[in-house]
A and B are shown apart, each in its own frame.
Chain A
Amino acid sequence: MDVGLFGQYVMNGLMLGMMYALVAVGFTLFFGVLNVINFSHGDVLTVGAFTGLATYLGLSAIGVSWAPAQVVIVLLVATTCMAGLGAVIARYLVLPLKAAPALNTLLLTLMLGTVLREAVRLFYPLGANPQRFPPLLPTTAYSFGNFTLRVDSVMLLLAGLAVIVGIHLVINKTKLGLAIRAVAQDEETAKTMGINFTLIVLVTFAIGSGLAAFAGILHGLYYSEINFAMGLLLGVIGFSSAIVGGLGNIYGAIIGGFLFAALQTIGVLAMPFASAYKDVFAFGVIILIMAWRPTGLISEKISERV
């Protein structure tokens, strides 16, 4: 295969992997602190992307047309709003069900996801149709043979990387991160250290949901289009990535996200005649990995499963 074309696939795979990893980190954080699966996570991403789009339209309407300002404000508003939404979901839907079987939380968040998705479809103007997402980043591109290097893609990749490094630093180098890890390992002992458990759960949900919004904007900027159902597949892929990496481990989730994107890319490269089957191929391999390592690649929390 042509080197340029191969490079193009790699670039695309990295971008996808970044989005999946950002979503997967959310799943794994929620599971870490509360042992729950939040199935509304993908739809929070959708709402985040639409919040970003609405913010852009609002900014244009009041005459803010300088793209760098627009992109920063769009990102800030979307991530902040979804962080708030995540904290509200944790406070009023997830925490009250703490004593109930985990299945109840799963079902409740699944239903909430449907509500969010349908709300976007019904209440956003023409929400049932795909919406054009504005190109807020420089559209300059350099061609090297079959390889086209888009400046905006590079910026998105770097931004995603910065966010992942930022999360790593927060989790490992700050007092907040230490508290999150302590709660994830042993909730009761963490409480007796004087950690405000409820607050840590809310902050963790805020962080995870803010990351989903960021991934949603990334998706919009990269594909120049968003739609009300985008979070459905991204949610399932993010969840699979978190599981295959080993639920509860953020590095596992990041690896899982890039692994899934790599599998999709390999699927396309290996079967150019049937690229529509890339998801079938990727999920199939994930199923095989799970059969081989049922607790994921980097398994966590086995000993705590009493």
Chain B
Amino acid sequence: MSGGDGNALIVEGVYTAYDKANVLEDVSLRGEPGKITCLLGSNGSGKSTLIRSILGLTPPNRGRIVFDGTELTGLPTHKIIATGIACIPEGRKVFPKLTVEENLRLGGYQEPSADVVRGRLDQVYETFPQLKERKEQVAGTLSGGEQAMVSIGRGLMGAPKLLLLDEPSLGLSPILVKENFNTIQRINEQGVTVFLVEQNVRQTLAIADYGYVLSKGRVVAHGTPEVLGRTKEVHEAYFG
């Protein structure tokens, strides 16, 4: 870690609460530049809350979150996005009444140059040719797999340095889940730092460089996939 904190996601001692009840307690972790860092945990462990805290949707009450040298804590969401972060939200959250292309264009909302946006659109269509065929179709009428493509493509439209993924495999068929993980790996190979929140332990650990386990709002274990695979906390977090 001698290269400094450039591009790293740093979460330090974060407490986040809804209506005074703490959901996250003293959470600290790092997403190393260019790596895939994963966060495992069962339902209700606070994984999505951490994503919301990073994005400023539910700002933390204590602690700090830093990305690429910029303190995110206290910034409004659009300024957090401007530091080079994109999110592929839980449940995909495509805008159902907007067309596929409009959804994608929103992903590149902060890019002022129309030519750059056009170029990125072409790239997304190259990755997902199906979306090109359906670009004028309203996103709400797409299949689950196609909506997942829109959500991922939309996340890439901002050319992020850091991509947050919140349970991307939720609700997809096993084949699509596998494809999804392959896509994540390809995105990472292009130099994008990935922070992946998942319940799907095996496939997540297969692609991650480092992982954390969250249980009842606290980090209970962390380490390389090999170490985590053998840790009892991982099993307890899911089955305990």
- Mark interface residues in A101-120 (1 if CB within 8 Å of B CB, else 0): 00000000000000000000
A189 touches B81 (CB 8 A): no
Q: Which of A188-229 contact B (CB under 8 A)?
A: 188-198
B109 touches A193 (CB 8 A): yes
A175 within 8 A of B: yes
A179 within 8 A of B: yes
* Complex-state Cα separation, A191 to B80, whole angstroms: 10
- Mark interface residues in B48-91 (1 if CB within 8 Å of A CB, else 0): 00000001010000000000000000001110011000110100
* Complex-state Cα separation, A196 to B82, whole angstroms: 11
B182 within 8 A of A: no
B95 touches A182 (CB 8 A): yes
Q: Name the B residues within 8 Å of A175 (CB-CB).
A: 109
A35 within 8 A of B: no
B109 touches A179 (CB 8 A): yes
B77 touches A191 (CB 8 A): yes
A186 touches B81 (CB 8 A): no
* Complex-state Cα separation, A136 to B55, whole angstroms: 53
Q: Which residue of B lies closest to A181 (CB)?
A: B98
Q: How many A-B residue pairs have CB under 8 A?
A: 61
B222 within 8 A of A: no
Q: Name the A residues within 8 Å of B78 (CB-CB).
A: 191, 194-197
B93 touches A186 (CB 8 A): yes
- Mark interface residues in B184-222 (1 if CB within 8 Å of A CB, else 0): 000000000000000000000000000000000000000
B107 within 8 A of A: yes
A191 touches B57 (CB 8 A): yes
Chain A at the B interface: mostly helix, strand, loop or mixed? helix
Question: Which listed residue (B55, B96, B97, B105) contacts A192, Cβ 8 A?
Answer: B55
Q: Name the A residues within 8 Å of B109 (CB-CB).
A: 175, 179, 193-195
- Nearest-CB distance from A177 to chain B (Å)? 10
B225 within 8 A of A: no
Q: Name the B residues within 8 Å of A185 (CB-CB).
A: 95-98
The size class of the interface chain B forms with chain A is: 20 to 34
* Complex-state Cα separation, A137 to B29, whole angstroms: 69
Q: Name the A residues within 8 Å of B110 (CB-CB).
A: 194
Task: Please list the residues of chain B having a beta carbon within 8 angstroms of any beta carbon in chain A.
Answer: 55, 57, 76-78, 81-82, 86-87, 89, 93, 95-98, 102, 105-107, 109-110, 154, 158
Q: Name the A residues within 8 Å of B81 (CB-CB).
A: 192-194
Interface centre among A178, A186, A189, A198 (most CB of B within 10 A): A189
* Complex-state Cα separation, A189 to B77, whole angstroms: 10
- Nearest-CB distance from A31 to chain B (Å)? 15
* Complex-state Cα separation, A195 to B81, whole angstroms: 9
- Nearest-CB distance from B117 to chain A (Å)? 10
Q: Which residue of B lies closest to A300 (CB)?
A: B97
- Mark interface residues in A159-182 (1 if CB within 8 Å of B CB, else 0): 000000000000000010011011
- Nearest-CB distance from B89 to chain A (Å)? 6
- Nearest-CB distance from B119 to chain A (Å)? 17
A194 touches B82 (CB 8 A): yes
Q: Name the B residues within 8 Å of A188 (CB-CB).
A: 57, 93
B95 touches A192 (CB 8 A): no
Question: Which listed residue (A182, A196, A197, A198) contacts B106, Cβ 8 A?
Answer: A182
**Apart from A175-B109, A185-B95, A189-B93: 16 A-B pairs, beta carbons within 8 A:** A178-B98, A178-B102, A181-B98, A182-B98, A186-B95, A189-B89, A190-B95, A191-B57, A191-B76, A192-B77, A193-B106, A193-B107, A193-B154, A194-B110, A195-B78, A197-B76
Q: Name the A residues within 8 Å of B77 (CB-CB).
A: 191-192, 194, 197
* Complex-state Cα separation, A185 to B106, whole angstroms: 13
Q: Name the A residues within 8 Å of B89 (CB-CB).
A: 189, 192
Q: Which residue of B lies closest to A198 (CB)?
A: B76
- Nearest-CB distance from A183 to chain B (Å)? 10
B97 touches A181 (CB 8 A): yes
Q: Name the A residues within 8 Å of B55 (CB-CB).
A: 191-192
Q: Name the B residues within 8 Å of A178 (CB-CB).
A: 98, 102, 105-106
Q: Which residue of A lies closest to B58 (CB)?
A: A188
Interface centre among B86, B109, B110, B158 (most CB of A within 10 A): B109
* Complex-state Cα separation, A175 to B107, whole angstroms: 12
Q: Which residue of A lies closest to B95 (CB)?
A: A185
A192 touches B98 (CB 8 A): no
Q: Name the B residues within 8 Å of A182 (CB-CB).
A: 95, 98, 106
* Complex-state Cα separation, A191 to B78, whole angstroms: 6
Q: Which of A33-78 contact B (CB under 8 A)?
A: none
